[in-house]
Homo-oligomer: A and B are copies of this chain.
């Protein structure tokens, strides 16, 4: 009886793996990966740290679970997308899936780090990749080419391409410090022209900075897909 009451009035619902993973995602979402500590997570669940260990073997296992949750979110996102029917639309089918995956990554900026640090695939990843296989096959690719394609896409298949030297958002430092740049001016003359040329390219659209994440991602993605398509046709 008291149990029933506390079930209803007490927010401390029983712990379980699912709740833990969901909370872990939430914690990372608004504190970054550094905030995702066992104690911190426990606190978010109004529980003691060691309680987590009954449901999750250790932190690695927690991250494995988190990775799966994220990929499942991708699967949800692409559930309604049309499949590929043949050679004409395989590229678009891939493209739409990957761009959907990217949306999920934008919601969970920390997720690339977690995914990259996993050493084993989970069921969600397997399902996700299987969808790609279906598309490749529908497009008429050999398994061999499909295999190469998967590797070539790499992390882009999951919607991200770890940008190098990306200043953390919120910090005001540039990818290259002005001093360093100035100091090396004679060694890297082309960079000066380069910066100017690229910056001028799109002067009104400065909100995105001169490296628009979205268009760079799509540029590279289309480059890959077009290249693969050519190889597909060449047979």
Instruction: Decide if A122 is an interface residue (CB 8 Å cutoff).
Output: yes
Minimum CB–CB distance for A165 against chain B, Å:
5
| A148 and B181 form a contact (CB under 8 A) | no
Closest CB pairs A-B (n = 4): A143-B197, A152-B220, A151-B216, A223-B227
A181 to B122, CA, bound (A): 9
A210, closest chain B residue (CB): B147
Contact A180 B226 (CB under 8 A): no
A43 at the interface (CB under 8 A from B): no
User: Which residues of chain B come closer than 8 Å to A161, judged between CB atoms?
Assistant: 154
Complexed CA–CA distance, A158 and B197 (Å)? 24
From A4-12, A51-59, A126-134, the one touching the partner chain is A126-134
Is A155 close to B, CB under 8 A? yes
Q: Which of A16-24, A101-109, A182-190 contacts B (4 or more CB under 8 A)?
A: A182-190
Chain B residues whose C-beta falls within 8 Å of the C-beta of A87 in the assembled complex: none
The answer to whether A165 touches B220, judged by C-beta atoms less than 8 angstroms apart, is no
CB distance from A221 to the nearest CB of B (A): 9
A119 and B165 contact, CB distance less than 8 A: yes
The 8 A CB mask of A133-160 against B (1 = contact, 0 = none) is 1100100001110111001101100100
| Interchain CA distance A134-B190 in the complex, whole Å | 7
